[in-house]
Structure 1
Amino acid sequence: MTRQSASRTEPLGPGVGRVETRLATVADPDHPLQLVSGDHLDHVEVAYETYGSLSPERDNAVYICHALTGDAHAAGIHDGETKPGWWDNIIGPGRAIDTDQWFVVSSNLLGGCSGTTGPTSMNPATGQVWGTAFPQIDMHDFVEVHLRLAAHLGIEKFHAVVGGSMGGMQALDWSLTHPDTLDNAVIVAASSRLTAQNIAFSAVGREAIVRDRDFDDGHYLDADRRPDTGLSIARMLAHITYLSEDAFAEKFGRTHQFGEPRRGFGVDFAVESYLDHQGETFLTRFDPLSYIYLTRVMDYFDPFGTTGATDLVVADPVNYLVVCFDTDWRFSPAHSRRIVRHLEGAGLPVSFFTIASSWGHDSFLMKLDPYHDLVRAFLEVPAGRRTGRASRRAPHHDGHICTREVDR
């Protein structure tokens, strides 16, 4: 099978240009955020960005839910920087999520470390950093904060909620629990229930952090130090799961970083240098406690595990696009098929595609034309036009094969 080439750096058009991250207060003592755990937060700030213009009817909004280590900066460029947002290749004028048509909202998750309230924020009750006293959080809590931000922006209903990986989990949870607030859900390279292997990878990453002597039971912020060794190892481990074996072979093979083998225990192979770089650069943009909290949320996510899980969305249907990638072994196509089975079993309209890509789980971040074309086309179909479903296997215009569930 011919593989689709991919790039993070080949978007269409000039992009959304200069952008800034804003803050919104969505919980205060008079309107606390009640959490699934039973705890509550009296103060929650959310970092967010918007792109495009909200229509007078306020009916063209699209919400972007980010993955584990993402943030609010999904597109455009911040002043003084040259690197665009993490999903810039899909968001912008003329791109799959076209900001000439859609008003796009992107926010940082509750528990994150890029402006939204989390374990590194100040606990207003104590005047100290939350640390491990920050309450346990749940996927429902993420969605509740998203909805409060929507209310702050004056948006009652979204044309679509879009997310990849853990962002897709949020989109799924949102659609099941608050279907009256969106028409469409785009779920990419996601899971509705992690396997034991998935949980194991995250467990090792968390252990690398907490066993670092500088973790200090989560009090490292008080001591002005961080468990950087543990965090970098966690990132290196996770990054191995984000790429397929084909991608590693294509990018690195058995190439030696310095031309000739050094026969030592330090960095010698190019892939080792790459992972070392990934671990080091991660330290500049992520916090160990956020990593621990957010990975744990994924472990417990099981939206179809309760009786009546689809009752609300059956009563107020949402249209679904579910996309996966054939070489993704972190959240393999079986994860997406499970989502589709549950949704179809409830009689909901679902379009399902498996895209050929050599890049594994990271494919959802890449500019793959068949993938982006699917998202564009799905968003442009007016609400209410998707009725009935049919399965077939067909080549795309570029000859790449995907399995797809199409509406007639």
Structure 2
Amino acid sequence: MASLPRSDDSRFGLRRQVRLAGPIALSSGASLGPVDIAYETYGAMNADKSNVILICHALTGDQYVASDHPVTGKPGWWWRLVGQGKPVDPARHFIICSNVIGSCMGSSGPASVDPATGEPHAMRFPVLTIADMVRAQAALLDHLGVERLSAVIGGSMGGMQALTWPTLFPDRVESCVVIASTARHSAQNIAFHEVGRQAIMADPNWRGGDYYADGMVPSAGLAVARMAAHITYLSEEGLTKKFGRRLQDRSEKTFGFDADFQIESYLRYQGISFSNRFDANSYLYITRAMDYYDIAEDHGGSLARAFAATRARFCLVSFDTDWLYPTAESRAIVHALNAGGAQASFVELSSPFGHDAFLLECPELNRVVDGFLRGGRA
């Protein structure tokens, strides 16, 4: 196992990586190795290694949970929750956040080079699951000498990883915080992902995924995929309050197909900016991993059985305007945990911001997470 040098790739920024020999056995029956993992750490491990917290990121997230992003220059995606004096505090915790395999910020994925060919994997990269992402994280922890996690925390797809941890490694997790997430992907969520994937694959520049050599990337298709997905992260209340039917930089409609409305301009901006920092093939792979996610299916159809071996404490948080992973999804998890005798607490928070609420200003979320990590209940 060797650390890799930092990359000067201007598209995806500087990278802190480790190369693990592997191989990692995948859910599909394939294997992956060697495996590159890009990660960030904050704080210091204490003498008995009992203060380690793993943060898991969402679909389009990365390892820069509390660091400035090397491409966009923006603060880390969860700076409101992770940092000095915050619930996840480097003064108290040793915090690890890694880029999931399949992504494009330094971990092995379709954009990374296949050592066997010297060319990017592209669509020859193996199809992954959320469980495969967790197995790769476990391999990273082995490399770092971490046997047990004080807590694993994640929101959205990060919550899927967090919830999967105690099912795969029940003896390595003391507590688990799952925010705005679910135990399986619904038909509606799969449908939204399929729209995005088809937009990418319909882009003439996609070319079956082999677009790395000339830099002609399917940015238009990826932008449309992002626009469609971004709508699901918002709420009707939030959209109405922020945009309504207000026009964009004009006093009258154009009676054409330019971005007349502010919401149209906003979505176009989101799509374009996203295509400048993310890889289209990675989007295909990660959304497919989310679609395959169903913890009960992996345990004989019983969600309660999935947690039978763990003694971890659980904290579930949902938001009342989140229609992507509504509160009913979190309640189903809590019922399964209770059926299995696990310690589980749950709270639904009020927010006008829909699914994105877990990333935005929410003092109540900070209080819940801080109290739970200090040994209390939600």
1:157-176 map, 5 Å: 157-176=148-167
**Counterpart secondary structure, 1:97:** coil
Conservation of the 8 A alpha-carbon contact between 2:71 and 2:277: no
Distance 1:252 1:41, change over 3 A: same
Q: What's the counterpart of residue 62 of structure 2?
A: 71
Structure 2 counterpart of 1:25, which letter?
A: R
For 1:121 and 1:201, locate their aligned partners in 2 and report how far apart those are by CA, in whole Å. Answer: 27
Q: What's the counterpart of residue 329 of structure 2?
A: 335
For 1:128 and 1:353, locate their aligned partners in 2 and report how far apart those are by CA, in whole Å. Answer: 48
Q: Which stretch of structure 1 is more off in the superposition, 311-320 or 180-189?
A: 311-320
1:130 aligns with 2:121: yes
Conservation of the 8 A alpha-carbon contact between 1:175 and 1:313: yes
For 1:294 and 1:80, locate their aligned partners in 2 and report how far apart those are by CA, in whole Å. Answer: 20
Q: What's the counterpart of residue 270 of structure 1?
A: 262
1:42-57 map, 5 Å: 42-57=33-48
1:198-237 map, 5 Å: 198-237=189-228
Structure 1 counterpart of 2:140, which letter?
A: L
Alignment partner for residue 373 of structure 2, among 374, 379, 401?
A: 379
Give structure 2 stretches of 5+ with no counterpart. Answer: 1-13
Conservation of the 8 A alpha-carbon contact between 2:307 and 2:337: no
- Deviation of residue 68 (structure 1)? 0.2
Distance 1:323 1:217, change over 3 A: same
For 1:230 and 1:42, locate their aligned partners in 2 and report how far apart those are by CA, in whole Å. Answer: 30
For 1:143 and 1:154, locate their aligned partners in 2 and report how far apart those are by CA, in whole Å. Answer: 16
Q: What's the counterpart of residue 302 of structure 1?
A: 294
Q: What's the counterpart of residue 58 of structure 1?
A: 49
What is the CA RMSD across the aligned residues, in angstroms?
A: 1.7
1:169-184 map, 5 Å: 169-184=160-175
For 1:79 and 1:130, locate their aligned partners in 2 and report how far apart those are by CA, in whole Å. Answer: 24
Number of residues of Structure 1 aligned to a counterpart in Structure 2: 362
Conservation of the 8 A alpha-carbon contact between 1:304 and 1:342: no
**Counterpart secondary structure, 2:147:** coil
For 2:315 and 2:294, locate their aligned partners in 1 and report how far apart those are by CA, in whole Å. Answer: 19
Instruction: Please list the CA deviations of residues 325-352 of structure 1 after superposition, one character each: whole Å capped at 9, or x if unmatched.
Output: 0000111111111211211111111111
For 1:225 and 1:76, locate their aligned partners in 2 and report how far apart those are by CA, in whole Å. Answer: 30
For 2:325 and 2:277, locate their aligned partners in 1 and report how far apart those are by CA, in whole Å. Answer: 24
Give the TM-score of the pair, scaled to structure 1: 0.86
- Deviation of residue 173 (structure 1)? 0.7
Q: What's the counterpart of residue 323 of structure 1?
A: 317
For 1:152 and 1:311, locate their aligned partners in 2 and report how far apart those are by CA, in whole Å. Answer: 30
Structure 2 counterpart of 1:349, which letter?
A: Q
**Counterpart secondary structure, 1:92:** coil
Q: Which stretch of structure 1 is more off in the superposition, 100-109 or 313-322?
A: 313-322
For 2:307 and 2:345, locate their aligned partners in 1 and report how far apart those are by CA, in whole Å. Answer: 16
Distance 1:79 1:137, change over 3 A: closer
Distance 1:316 1:200, change over 3 A: closer
Conservation of the 8 A alpha-carbon contact between 1:136 and 1:293: yes
Q: Percent identity?
A: 42
**Counterpart secondary structure, 1:280:** helix
1:100 aligns with 2:94: no
Conservation of the 8 A alpha-carbon contact between 2:166 and 2:310: no
- Deviation of residue 223 (structure 1)? 3.9
Q: What's the counterpart of residue 391 of structure 1?
A: none
Q: What's the counterpart of residue 3 of structure 2?
A: none
Q: What's the counterpart of residue 241 of structure 1?
A: 232
Q: Which stretch of structure 1 is more off in the superposition, 331-340 or 200-209?
A: 331-340
Distance 1:243 1:135, change over 3 A: same
- Deviation of residue 211 (structure 1)? 0.9
Q: What's the counterpart of residue 191 of structure 1?
A: 182
1:142-157 map, 5 Å: 142-157=133-148
Distance 1:300 1:81, change over 3 A: closer
For 1:102 and 1:271, locate their aligned partners in 2 and report how far apart those are by CA, in whole Å. Answer: 40
For 2:303 and 2:120, locate their aligned partners in 1 and report how far apart those are by CA, in whole Å. Answer: 36
Conservation of the 8 A alpha-carbon contact between 1:247 and 1:359: yes
Q: Which stretch of structure 1 is more off in the superposition, 304-313 or 245-254?
A: 304-313
- Deviation of residue 250 (structure 1)? 1.1
- Deviation of residue 134 (structure 1)? 0.4
Q: Which stretch of structure 1 is more off in the superposition, 78-87 or 59-68?
A: 78-87
1:88 aligns with 2:79: yes
1:286 aligns with 2:278: yes
For 2:127 and 2:68, locate their aligned partners in 1 and report how far apart those are by CA, in whole Å. Answer: 33
Instruction: Please list the CA deviations of residues 152-211 of structure 1 after superposition, one character each: whole Å capped at 9, or x if unmatched.
Output: 111110100000000000011111111111100000000111221111000000000001
